[in-house]
Amino acid sequence: MKIYFKGAAGTVTGSKHLLETEQGLKILLDCGLYQGKESGAGRENRHFGFDPQTVDMVFLSHAHIDHSGLLPRLVKEGFKGKIYCTEPTRALCEIMLADSAHIQQADFSYQSKKSISQEDSEPLYTIDDVVKTIDLFEPLAYDEWIILHDDITVMFTYVGHILGSACVNLRVREGKKTHRIAYTGDIGRTNQQIIKGSEPFPQAEVILCESTYGNRVHDDQTMSEKKLLEVVQETCVENKGKLIIPSFSLGRTQEIVHTLDRLESAGKLPSIKVFVDSPLSTNATDIVRSFPEHFNERILKYMEKDAQPFGFSGLHYIRDVKYSKMLNQLKEPCIIISASGMAEAGRIVHHLANNIEDKRNTILFIGYCEPSTLGGRLRDGAQKVQIFGHDHDVKAKVVVMDSYSAHGDYQEMIEYLSCQQPHLIKHLFLVHGRNDVQQEFKGHLDQAGFHHISIPKKGDVVELS
């Protein structure tokens, strides 16, 4: 069997790993979009480096766009197989991919007008391609080995990253051999606010493991409620300012809303309005609400007293752009949670432009931002930024809280892998991480007793014995 590393190799976006057996069976693990501006993402997204028509099936680890966002392009270029994932991932992909199609269309119109790139004469994909893609989704249950093909058996196991996320455990027969492969997708933190945590996965010989925070130790999650309350108090009560929170629609938005919900229930939240200003975040929250069977014990216990863990008096979800614009006129202190998390696009950019020059306000980052993005520059302490072509002095306070990360740190990832017997692992491939981070992670893994670790580059092919 060969593994072709086609994306998220030495980078954190564009996850795509292709398995090919001697019999010619081709299995794709994830089909993510390249994001960010500096990586030549536009070109990368138009060239798979393999023929989509020859791929037999896809296993999708979770709904984040950097793992799922090129599926409609795969279908547009002739893929006709099944896309296997969990039920929540299918539900979330319906809204995530539709939103992505909308962005592709908008980007294409903008580029056409500016004649920046004429490489392709049409958008990456459209909503029609998304509809065809969703038809190919085949949801499978967690924790059950399922025979899909004479030579392929799969089991999804909880990995605690976002709703629906799974480790893909595969048994692939090739002649007399059976390859035992595990693809972690993204690994969550140990104590998630909402979803079930990760669980041990069956022993594998070949592991493809993410490595986003392979060099980091995150803040303690148990402190996040206290820290958030401190930021709210200082900004909204003492300074009478606005708290602006750029947040990924899926995962972190629900976590931060739920934390505020807990604070409100405990009578600790000051009496201020909270706005979730994003149609996608609002829709994602509706979907998360509809899958309580994947919630953890802590939130289920909380829901015995408060049936609405993402809703409290003072909280408003905004879909309509008209109401979003009205927030600009609001004079009173408030909290605005909006997407995108890296502050590159979406309504959050307008809120930053309107609030960044007022020293009473705070901008709170609760997730990873690519260094090249507006969020990344603000996180790095920029004193001046350009927004919509205008210079802005950064007078608002910028606060970073990484305890809300949906990715485990290196200790949590090693803990996740500790269910494996290291001497039985023949290959441990580190994917989905920056190269310098992966080198550090490799060192930590080595110390923890894991060997045969490699860091593939994009385009590498490895033959498994």
- Indicate the residue among 124 and 187 with the shorter CB distance to Zn ion: 187
Contact range with Zn ion by CB under 5 A, out of 62-70, 302-310, 321-329, 347-355: 62-70
If the CB atoms of residues 241 and 408 are measured against Zn ion, the closer one turns out to be 408
Q: Please count the CA atoms within 13 angstroms of the CA of 87 that sit on its side-chain side.
A: 10
Compute the distance between CA of residue 465 and CA of residue 148 in angstroms, rounded to an integer.
23
Question: In what order do the strands lie in the sheet containing 146-149?
Answer: 146-149, 152-158, 166-174, 177-183, 206-210, 427-431, 453-454
Q: Does 370 bind Zn ion (CB under 5 A)?
A: no
Q: Pick the stretch among 186-194, 209-217, 303-311, 313-321 that binds Zn ion (CB under 5 A).
A: 186-194
Nearer to Zn ion, 20 or 30 (CB): 30
166-174 vs 177-183, strand pairing mode: antiparallel
Closest CB 32 distance from Zn ion, rounded Å: 9
Strand 273-277 relative to strand 315-318, pairing? parallel
Is 30 a residue that touches Zn ion (CB under 5 A)?
Answer: no
* Contact range with Zn ion by CB under 5 A, out of 18-26, 60-68, 308-316, 387-395: 60-68
Kindly tell me which of 185 and 241 has the beta carbon lying closer to Zn ion. Answer: 185
64 is a contact residue toward Zn ion (CB under 5 A): yes
CB of 161 to Zn ion, least distance (A): 6
User: Is residue 133 helix, strand or coil?
Assistant: helix
CB of 8 to Zn ion, least distance (A): 10
186 binds Zn ion (CB under 5 A): yes
180 binds Zn ion (CB under 5 A): no
**Shortest CB 114 distance to Zn ion, Å:** 31
Tokens linked to 30: 């994830």
In angstroms, give the least distance from the CB of 62 to Zn ion. 6
Q: Residue 42, exposed/middle/buried by CB under 10 A (0-12, 13-18, 19+)? A: middle
Find the part of the chain contacting Zn ion (CB under 5 A) among 64-72, 111-119, 134-142, 373-381: 64-72
Specify the residue, 67 or 258, whose C-beta has the smaller distance to Zn ion: 67
Residues 234, 399: Cα–Cα separation, whole Å: 12
Query: Least distance (Å) from Zn ion to the CB of residue 275?
Result: 25
Cα 371 to Cα 377: distance, rounded to the nearest angstrom: 6
Q: How far apart are CA 56 and CA 20, in angstroms?
A: 10
Smallest distance, Zn ion to C-beta of residue 94, A: 17
Please identify, among the stretches 166-174, 179-187, 306-314, 365-373, the one whose residues bind Zn ion according to the rule CB under 5 A: 179-187
Q: How far out from the chain centre does Cα 347 lie?
A: 19
Nearer to Zn ion, 17 or 262 (CB): 17
Distance of alpha carbon 5 from alpha carbon 16, whole angstroms: 7
**Residue 394: Cβ within 10 Å count:** 18
Task: Return the range that interacts with Zn ion (CB under 5 A); candidates 130-138, 185-193, 330-338, 393-401.
Answer: 185-193
Size of the site for Zn ion (CB under 5 A): 2
Minimum distance from CB of 186 to Zn ion (Å)?
4
CA 65 vs CA 30, 48, 71: distances in Å: 10, 16, 9
Judged by beta carbon, residue 85 or residue 172, the one nearer Zn ion is 85
Six-digit token string for 423:
């001497």
Rounded Cα distance between 119 and 267, Å, is 56
In the complex, the residues that contact Zn ion under the rule CB under 5 A are: 64, 186
